[in-house]
Amino acid sequence: MDFERTDFSSRQFDLIFSQASITYFNRKKVIKEIKRILKPNGFLCVGEIVKLHQNVPTFINEIFNYSNLHPLQIDELEKYYCERNFILIDSIDLSKTLTKFYQDYAILLNSKSKNLSESEKSFYKKILSKISH
């Protein structure tokens, strides 16, 4: 179902957890729908894709456009929700965790790929190349 037009009844949920599903160009309609289905005094937990810098590389903008994403600047996020009458309880910047995730898995990939036979390396060559990139 579309995020902007759900089949849920009005005021149905005490909690809505949204992971990267509000970051679209139709953000206003999605927020309106969330407010419709959220009970009074309900909670919205949001994990959004954001721009960490005003000027992002062209290829990142192309990814956003191709994916129909319209991320806010990280410093605009709290203001955006407060302007829509949400009360901010807590805010956590997890942007550094993605870098750590990739670093940790690069180490794991390197350690595991050493144990592959030559035929396995040959078989997984394309996948390993993409992952290590």
Distance CA 132, CA 76 (A): 33
* Range ranked top by mean pLDDT from 29-38, 57-66, 88-97: 29-38
β-bridge partners, 45: 17
- What does the pLDDT read at residue 131? 65
Beta strands 13-19 and 72-73, pairing class: unpaired
Is the pLDDT at 43 greater than 90? The verdict is yes
How many angstroms from the chain centroid is the CA of residue 107?
Answer: 24
Q: How confident is the model at residue 132 (pLDDT cuts 50, 70, 90)?
A: low
Q: How confident is the model at residue 35 (pLDDT cuts 50, 70, 90)?
A: very high
pLDDT digits (tens, 9 = 90+) for 84-124: 999 999 999 888 888 888 888 888 888 888 888 888 878 87
β-bridge partners, 38: 13
Distance CA 122, CA 117 (A): 9
pTM here is: 0.72
